[in-house]
Structure 1
Amino acid sequence: FKQTIYLVGVFLFFFYLHGGTSSLISTLIIFPVYKTVFRQQIHNTSVHRAVGQLLKEGPAKLYRGVAPPLLMRTLNGTLLFGLQDTLLHQLSLSSQQVILSSALPALAGFGAGLVEAVVFTPFERVQNVLQNGQNDRRVPTLKSVLVRLKAQRPALGYYRALLPITARNTLGSSLYFGLKGPVCAAVEAQGLSPGVSSFISGTLTSMVISLTLYPLSVLVANMQAQMGGEVKGVMACWRMLWESRQRSVALLYRGGSLVILRSCITWGIATAIYDTHQKRSN
């Protein structure tokens, strides 16, 4: 019995470790692109203007705010991949064919996305405050941001925009884990190597997800980036956002091209690294 517990523990450790490692590497590579997209979402600017802002601020500020997303994405990958696999294992044992086996990865992904939203909303809140250049004077350091948010009640502080984040994460995780396996198998059937197939699978899947859920990400960024002022609910914030984009879907999707690039690199790398480690562990 002890040996069985030990083997299960080692098995889960590697799944959680592999998810964290893949997310850490991909986040460091893609952070400048992420910050450019964030500026477009907040200031409603073109990609050239957003890049110009970052270049004007200089290299020293380029990675301002990298600590929260780096920590968040590393822990996020650790939790998301590991918890999804744990839930998938439990569902496989208890479903008794009531649920189609092909739907189990998506269902486990939904559960992992729900936990992810609860755990990581505070990280995203801090990250968005730090990356908003308009907050530089009022809250210039990470410590000052943490002190300011701690003084507010959770719904207005660390857990601002929890509802749209939960909707985005649960839907995104369900689609990702539900689609990446079949897509990878289809690509690998064309004669490509497993590593390349995993990369393409992660790229295509994340591209579909990021474009579908992009409006939610814009809403979250705008709700979380501000400190102080009048606090509005989700629907009121959505109406303000829609009006500020002149009721234009094209303007709402400003930054979408970079989202595709970011998703391709981030999830392509993360999926390839995770699948490679997973196969070596089996």
Structure 2
Amino acid sequence: MSKRVARRIDNRSIPLRAGKSHVLAASSVYRIGLLSPIAGLGISRKHCTCSPYLKSLQINFLRRPYRFEVVVRIPTPPSYTSSKTAFEMSTEKPLPFIYQFAAGAVAGVSEILVMYPLDVVKTRVQIQSKVPVPGQDHYTGMLDCFRKIIANEGASRLYRGIGAPILMEAPKRATKFAANDEWGKVWRNVFGVSKMSQSLSILTGASAGATESFVVVPFELVKIRLQDKAQASRYNGMVDCFLKIVRQEGPLTLYQGLESTMWRHILWNSGYFGCIFQVRAMLPANPTKDKSLQMRNDLISGTIGGTVGTILNTPMDVVKSRIQNSPKIAGSVRKYNWAWPALGTVMKEEGFGALYSGFLPKVLRLGPGGGILLVVFTGVMDFFRSIRKE
């Protein structure tokens, strides 16, 4: 990052800190700007050339030589810009919570409608055992799973259980944004800083993801049970599934898999938000706010962030699926119970590769899906801004 200075004609330099206001007094000339090919700001007795960095200029004409008081605010670099939401990382002023919540919900539902079949395939591959079970379909991969579901059960099965994640979006987004805002304040106070850095954004995202898990788990459990072909005949839809779980296994069963879900969200949020900060900083700047360039940058950064997050959290996602798909049976101990012991069991019995079962459909969903989330969220937020300006 270029060093920002105010340079006087006698070559004495005064450092300017990003995000801070500075008062500079001079009797002749200051050059204010970047020590780079980018032009700065020149001020003398004869002329004043403004720049985006100039906040205010006060000139005292009562004494000679004229004395200048220049107040300059250096904007925080884009890669360190903070905001109330994990998605809102532009230089635009953040909109009120209700707008961010609505935009997040629209983005989330859009991603679900487009990518949900991949989630069904991912779950089927994750919960099957390594050894084929007589009388049950065994899938050798993503395409084989798609083919067998459509051929044996019909294309509509690719959307079985979609009601749970759609209903989950509103409380999930509200929790995500509120938790992200509150955890951001907590970590800034803990480390004694006023602005968010990349590392604090990762920490905030991970903390918000863990908080979000408490809302997500019951919906995820119902979705997993409905997606499993072996249990499909037990439940007649989302509401019936929910009621039978509560009656037959107890209400606490709805939070079966909470620990593994928390780890899954912590790992994904850390990888996703850590990457999109770095990737956006490396992509070409968009000073003219060109829509096509902004969409391209969002797709690239969101896809890369989603892919890295998926690589990190897939083992915990496999474990979560198996824990949540294990019905509670009186007098028996579930094979998969806690996250880390279950991780060891899967690796011991089926090998390390089993921890990445369903990785291809998962990364195809959450990679481009992360890009879709950013593009739709940014588009909806721009729409809200245009309405508020009218």
What is the TM-score when the length of structure 2 is the normalising length? 0.62
Amino acid at match of 1:174: S
The equivalences for 1:217-228 within 5 A come to 217-228=317-328
Q: CA deviation at 1:238?
A: 3.1
Give the superposition deviation at 1:236.
4.6
Question: Which position in structure 2 is the counterpart of 1:117?
Answer: 213
- Corresponding residue of 1:3: none
* 8 Å contact from structure 2 (residues 315, 343) kept in 1: no
Rounded to whole Å, the distance in 1 between the matches of 2:298 and 2:97 is 21
What's 2:24 paired with? none
The alignment-based identity, stated in percent, is 22
- The answer for the alignment partner of 2:53 in structure 1 is none
Q: For 1:195 and 1:123, how far apart are their aligned partners in 2?
A: 31
Q: Does the CA-based 8 Å contact 2:273-2:305 persist in structure 1?
A: no
Counterparts in 2 of 1:186-265, with a 5 A limit? 186-189=282-285, 193-229=293-329, 230-232=333-335, 233-234=337-338, 235-245=340-350, 247=351, 249-265=352-368
Paired with 1:182 and 1:112, the residues of 2 have a C-alpha distance of 20
| 1:42 alignment counterpart | 127
2:103 alignment counterpart? 18
Question: After superposition, what is the alpha-carbon deviation per residue over 1:179-224, rounded to whole angstroms, capped at 9, x for unaligned?
Answer: 3223123123499811210111110011011011101000000111
For structure 2, the residue ranges without an aligned partner over 5 or more in a row are 1-92, 130-138, 386-390
Greater helix fraction, Structure 1 or Structure 2: 1
For the 8 Å contact 2:306–2:368, the answer to whether it is kept is no
1:1-282 matches, within 5 Å, as 11-43=96-128, 45-46=139-140, 47-55=142-150, 56-81=152-177, 83-85=179-181, 87-88=183-184, 96-97=192-193, 101-151=197-247, 152-155=249-252, 157-189=253-285, 193-229=293-329, 230-232=333-335, 233-234=337-338, 235-245=340-350, 247=351, 249-278=352-381
Find the aligned partners of 1:15 and 1:63 in 2 and give their Cα distance: 28
Q: What is the alpha-carbon distance in structure 2 between the residues aligned to residue 37 and residue 171 of structure 1? A: 18
1:5 match: none
User: Could you list the per-position Cα deviations for residues 123-157 of structure 1 after superposition, in whole angstroms to 9, with x for gaps in the alignment?
Assistant: 101110111111122223323321222133454x1
**2-side partners of 1:281 and 1:251: how far apart?**
45
CA radius of gyration, larger in: 2
Check conservation: 2:175, 2:212, Cα contact below 8 A.
Answer: yes
* CA pair 94-275 structure 1, distance change in 2 beyond 3 A: farther
- 2: CA distance between counterparts of 1:276 and 1:84? 21
Residues 41-78 of structure 1: per-residue CA shift (max 9 Å, x gap): 11253223311331120023221111012222454344
Count of aligned positions:
272
Structure 2 letter corresponding to 1:61 = R
SS in 1 for 2:328: coil
Q: How far off is 1:99 after superposition?
A: 8.1
Amino acid at match of 2:360: S
State TM-score, norm by structure 1: 0.84
CA RMSD, 1 decimal: 2.9
Partner Cα separation in structure 2 for residue 83 and residue 97 of structure 1: 19
The one-letter amino acid of 2:143's match is H
* Aligned-partner SS, 2:309: helix
CA 1:180–1:113 in structure 2 vs 1: closer, same or farther (change >3 Å)?
Answer: same
SS in 1 for 2:244: helix
Quickly say closer, same or farther: Cα 1:94–1:237, change in 2 above 3 A: closer
Distance in 2, matches of 1:208 and 1:101, equals 20
Question: Relative to 1, partners in 2 of residues 1:25 and 1:194: Cα closer, same or farther, differing over 3 Å?
Answer: same
Query: Which amino acid letter does the alignment assign opposite residue 27 of structure 1?
Result: I
Q: CA deviation at 1:98?
A: 8.0
Q: Evaluate the alpha carbon distance shift between residue 271 and residue 81 of structure 1 in structure 2; reply closer, same or farther with a 3 A threshold.
A: farther
Deviation at 1:82, TM superposition (A): 5.3
Shift of 1:95: 5.3
Moved more, 94-103 or 38-47: 94-103
